[in-house]
Amino acid sequence: MVFPNFEELKNAVSIFHIRHRKNFCSSYKKSSSWRAVCATTGPQQTPCNWSLSAAKLKGTTNQWKIKKVSTTHTCQNVFIEGGMDRVCGSDLIAALVTRKICEDPHYKVKHIQTDVKNEYGLDVSYRKAWYARQKCIETEYGKFADSYNELPSFLMSLKATNPGTIIEFDFTPSPPSPSGESAYVHFKYAFWAFKPAIDGFQYCFPVIGVDGTHLYGKYKGNLLLAVGTNANNEIFPLAYSIVDAETAASWS
Ligand SMILES: [Zn+2]
């Protein structure tokens, strides 16, 4: 049986063990070979000789193949609470629910707990499910910090490809690191008003409404918004700004 990479091989072995309520652990792991053995232990257990050997295929990029599975588990099932913790970590849960998170951004931690319970019969702690969700999001969409790092180039591209759109942003240098370097910057403000919105304001009532709302992501901050009202009394968004806090300085 061939797997596209080691992670998928290990996930498949883990799911097999979860379904059969057994434990396993790595006996050794090298760059091109892996051996797993039974890890079910307890006072009632007799020695179990289950083992699995796999190797990375030569001449391929990352493919792994199961070479040998010796016997079946002769140990008793693991039903004790937390007994599957060794097999079912947040990495595996992340792999199990990645597709659902990609399809539905509103897939919440409690949904992970419910689905893993329904499909695999496992109780997953909120903490572990939360970590799994974070790993999925970072794998699919990148890390929050990386997104902020890419913001300047994204805004410059937005400006270059949308003539007439007004964009301004501000970063403040971070304190020098212990090594004396100050290469990193901290995001402070970003402001943008799309050209069609600017052009459209001439058809709105000559009144601008402004308000702000808190951002509830990892890095907090505020979203400030300026809107007009068109002839149908509909809200017409004019300009947006993400700021560190709602202050007189950030509003101006
Ligand atoms: Zn066993």
Q: What is the distance in A from the centroid of ligand 1 to the CA of 33?
A: 21
Q: What is the distance in A from the centroid of ligand 1 to the CA of 9?
A: 19
Confidence of residue 228 (pLDDT cuts 50, 70, 90): very high
Q: What is the distance in A from the centroid of ligand 1 to the CA of 29?
A: 19
Over the stretch 83-132, which tens digit does the pLDDT of each residue have? 566 677 888 888 888 888 888 878 899 999 999 889 888 888 899 999 99
CB 235 within 8 A of CB 244: no
Q: What is the distance in A from the centroid of ligand 1 to the CA of 42?
A: 11
Is the pLDDT score of 217 beyond 80?
no
Q: Of all helices (H) and strands (E), which one includes residue 148?
A: helix 144-161
CA distance 211 to 226: 7
CA distance 16 to 139: 24
The whole-model pTM stands at 0.60
Is the pLDDT score of 241 beyond 90?
yes
